[in-house]
């Protein structure tokens, strides 16, 4: 047990008394340093306040103001990501910036950056550091300890703001009520180190650690397997094989630990927010290469109208889906069919998930014990014995998730596994693209009669209300009706003449890739391309809809800032282009305007190489005026509150670190404005 937690109640009382009685800001800072540095065996503790566009701290020499406009340093990284960080060899870190991270030149060796956050707003950063004289290495349990000190640290920061006559970020009285309620049930220290309830505490602590390890290992293994399947250079095959095996061993160790943990009835329920379409389509594509190589037809039938986000125990669900799909691939012969379907049942607030195949099937006798861990029939020959423990484990997991795994199977015909899962934390539902079904005339160019992939296309298209009589399936390019508004071409029929024809007849064109990863999208930048070995439902509906994805340009030379913006916007219906200098931004804006495909939103920093953000906008506004643009560019300033002059040309502004809702607000307004113009 970490003995520091035995002191924490006394220390908190002492800290709270010192903060309450402090008559100046320096006294608050000195109290924090005096009380907390011994607890962490640190040399110094510094409380930084967020006074946009600066961070500030109070010291004996006076108030230090640190501008983050240079967008450099590890302190800036913490500021932007709002995530704690530990660096135990500070000067050797790639992004270390002495003027920001060690402004007094103290030869800091180890440091903790801990963000102080209230309702998703960063109000300050607390840092602890040691110099070369002690070389104390900070650990993750130090961050865990700081989590229990966050409330009094925020109180201390608010007292400094009051004493230095700075504005308080949120209503202090409201936060005080929340803090009081939290203190009534406060327990200190990582659960694993506390005396009471030790078994449950250990479960919670190690589950969190294993979960944090699991996701990057899984992503690494999937990428290595993808490379292994695509790389043809024999010299790289052995190293790739060894890398995959190493990643698999680590994954199995983590799996073994997690399975052991979850055998406990006290195991915590760990739900993550998942972005549904991305989550299920990525799982489906894990098997795309193997299915293609085995010449199996793959129907990825995910309802494009799923909730955008849900809360679910994604690790467990992923394990079930991978096991069911893996079995389907193993037991389905070449030329067979595998279908992976996900539907949302709004009346039940649940998901219906199924994996079906045309494989060897399972006899009625074997079906009786298929989900039993040690069935009497397990030693018989046939399909069941080869499923191993995967199905019993999957059935148990589905039950833990609130569902029941069901099987329908006919020997030598195939099998269908399906289950329903109740959902929590349901986000907004994906919206159906706006279309007028009566104006659509769809032609599908495919010479394979009864192709299941074509039937899946028909299912998605008819979901939009387009009648079957308005959809034609033809085998010969010479039969393409002149009235066609949307042409879907399978890869084996593709040629440049079809591209010319689509332009002549003003048809929208969609290309279907039939050989996995065989088409380079860069060859046809203006044509949407979908793969029949992956999920294409959302792309198809977008292709048929009247709405076009919003064109967004992000102009910022701070790559970390750009990545944070992309992370928020990537789940929306938009095309994002990023540039790092002002001249390039103006060039892209101008060229798009001249081509009558203008950008709708510009997120830009004011400080850019070559050309400042406000100058970009001034020049572009003149172009808009010259060309009598009906729908002007929506401009969002990324450099905090603009000046009075700048506010005349910017429509909105964002303060770092970015809040999700603030980033999405201009997008939502632009989207609604464009929709209302079409009504």
**What per-residue confidence (pLDDT) applies to 620?**
94
**What per-residue confidence (pLDDT) applies to 403?**
95
**Contact yes or no for 588/555 (Cβ under 8 A):** no
**What per-residue confidence (pLDDT) applies to 207?**
64
The CB density around residue 385, as the number of other CB atoms within 10 Å, is 13
272-422 shares its CATH topology with 550-678: no
Kindly list the domain boundaries of the chain, sorted by start residue: 3-189, 198-262, 272-422, 437-544, 550-678
> What kind of fold does domain 3-189 have according to CATH?
Beta-Lactamase (3.30.450)
What's the rounded Cα separation, in Å, for the pair 311 and 272? 5
Helix (H) or strand (E) holding 652: strand 652-653
> What is the architecture, at CATH level 2, of domain 437-544?
3-Layer(aba) Sandwich (3.40)
**Contact yes or no for 473/454 (Cβ under 8 A):** yes
Measured in whole angstroms, how far is the alpha carbon of residue 134 from the centre of its chain? 40
**What per-residue confidence (pLDDT) applies to 16?**
83
What's the rounded Cα separation, in Å, for the pair 389 and 253? 17
Provide the CB-side half-sphere exposure for 423 (13 A, CA): 24
Mean pLDDT by 10 residues, the chain (679 residues): 70 83 89 89 91 86 85 90 89 89 90 90 92 75 86 90 78 44 43 45 60 69 72 71 72 66 54 86 90 94 90 89 92 95 94 95 83 57 52 90 94 94 83 75 91 94 89 93 94 92 91 91 87 92 83 92 88 88 94 91 91 92 89 88 76 87 91 77
- Is 0.85 topped by the overall pTM? no
How far are the Cα atoms of 49, 112, 165 from residue 46, in angstroms, in the given order?
10, 10, 19
Outline where DSSP puts E strands in 214-326. 272-275, 297-302, 309-312
What's the rounded Cα separation, in Å, for the pair 637 and 667? 14
**What per-residue confidence (pLDDT) applies to 208?**
61
> What is the architecture, at CATH level 2, of domain 550-678?
3-Layer(aba) Sandwich (3.40)
Residue 416: which of 329, 355, 360 has the closest Cα?
355
Q: Indicate left, alpha or beta for 452 from its phi (over 0: left) and psi (-120 to 50: alpha).
A: alpha
Residue 144: which of 193, 86, 190 has the closest Cα?
190
To 10 degrees, the CA torsion angle through 222, 224, 228, 229? Answer: 20
> What kind of fold does domain 272-422 have according to CATH?
Heat Shock Protein 90 (3.30.565)
**Phi then psi for 54, rounded to 5 degrees?**
-125, 160
**What per-residue confidence (pLDDT) applies to 570?**
81
């Amino acid at each position: 047990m970490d003995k520091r937690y035995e002191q924490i109640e006394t220390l908190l009382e002492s800290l709270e008394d010192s903060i309450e009685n402090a008559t100046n800001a320096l006294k608050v800072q000195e109290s924090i340093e005096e009380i907390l540095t011994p607890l962490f065996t640190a040399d110094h503790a510094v409380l930084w306040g967020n006074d946009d566009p600066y961070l500030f701290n109070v010291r004996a020499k006076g108030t230090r103001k640190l501008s983050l406009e240079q967008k450099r340093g590890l302190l800036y990284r913490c500021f932007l990501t709002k995530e704690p960080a530990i660096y135990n060899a500070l000067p050797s870190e790639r992004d270390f910036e002495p003027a920001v991270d060690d402004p007094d030149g103290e030869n800091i060796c180890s440091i903790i950056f801990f963000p102080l956050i209230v309702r998703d707003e960063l109000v300050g950063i607390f840092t602890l550091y040691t110099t070369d004289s002690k070389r104390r290495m900070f650990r993750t349990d130090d961050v865990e300890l700081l989590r229990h000190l966050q409330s009094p640290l925020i109180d201390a920061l608010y007292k400094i703001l009051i004493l230095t006559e700075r504005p308080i970020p949120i209503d202090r009285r409201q936060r005080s009520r929340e803090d009081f309620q939290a203190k009534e049930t406060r327990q200190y220290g990582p659960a694993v180190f506390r005396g009471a309830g030790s078994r449950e505490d250990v479960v919670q602590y190690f589950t969190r650690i294993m979960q944090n390890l699991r996701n990057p290992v899984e992503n690494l293994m999937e990428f290595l397997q993808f490379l292994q399947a695509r790389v043809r250079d024999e010299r790289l095959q052995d190293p790739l094989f060894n890398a995959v095996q190493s990643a698999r061993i680590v994954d199995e160790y983590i799996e073994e630990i997690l399975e052991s943990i979850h055998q406990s009835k006290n195991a915590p329920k760990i739900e993550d927010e998942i972005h549904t379409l991305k989550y299920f389509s990525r799982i489906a594509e894990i098997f795309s290469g193997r299915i293609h190589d085995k010449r199996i037809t793959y129907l990825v039938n995910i309802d494009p109208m799923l909730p955008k986000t849900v809360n679910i125990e994604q690790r467990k669900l992923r394990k079930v889906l991978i096991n069911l799909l893996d079995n389907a691939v193993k037991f389905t012969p070449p030329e067979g069919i595998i279908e992976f379907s996900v539907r949302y049942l709004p009346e039940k607030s649940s998901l219906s998930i199924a994996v079906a195949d045309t494989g060897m099937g399972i006899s009625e006798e074997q079906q009786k014990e298929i989900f039993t861990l040690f069935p009497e029939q397990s030693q018989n020959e046939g399909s069941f014995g080869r499923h191993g423990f995967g199905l019993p484990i999957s059935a148990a997991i589905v039950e833990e998730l609130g569902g029941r795994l069901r099987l329908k199977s006919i020997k030598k015909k195939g099998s269908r596994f399906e289950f329903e899962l109740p959902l929590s934390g349901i986000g907004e539902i994906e919206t159906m693209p706006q279309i007028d079904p009566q104006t659509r005339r769809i032609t599908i160019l495919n010479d394979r009669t009864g192709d299941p992939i074509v039937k899946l296309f028909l299912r998605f298209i008819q979901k939009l209300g387009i009648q079957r009589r308005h959809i034609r399936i033809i085998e010969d390019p010479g039969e393409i009706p002149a009235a066609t508004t949307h042409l879907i071409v399978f890869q084996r029929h593709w040629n440049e003449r079809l591209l010319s024809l689509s332009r002549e007849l003003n048809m929208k064109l969609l290309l279907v890739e039939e050989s996995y990863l065989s088409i380079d999208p860069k060859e046809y930048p203006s044509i949407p391309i979908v793969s029949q070995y992956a999920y294409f439902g959302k792309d198809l509906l977008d292709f048929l809809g009247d709405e076009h994805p919003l064109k967004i340009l992000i102009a910022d030379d701070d790559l970390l800032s750009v990545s944070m913006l992309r992370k928020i916007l990537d789940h929306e219906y938009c095309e994002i282009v990023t540039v790092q200098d002002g001249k390039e931004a103006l060039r892209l804006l101008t060229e798009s305007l001249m081509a009558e495909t203008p950008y709708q939103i510009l997120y830009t920093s004011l400080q850019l190489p070559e050309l400042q953000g406000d100058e970009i906008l001034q020049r572009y506004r003149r172009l808009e005026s010259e060309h009598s643009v009906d729908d002007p560019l929506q401009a969002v300033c990324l450099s905090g509150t603009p000046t009075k002059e700048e506010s005349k040309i910017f429509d909105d502004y964002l303060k770092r670190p970015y809040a999700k809702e603030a980033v999405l607000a201009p997008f939502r307004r632009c989207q609604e404005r464009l929709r209302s113009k079409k009504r």
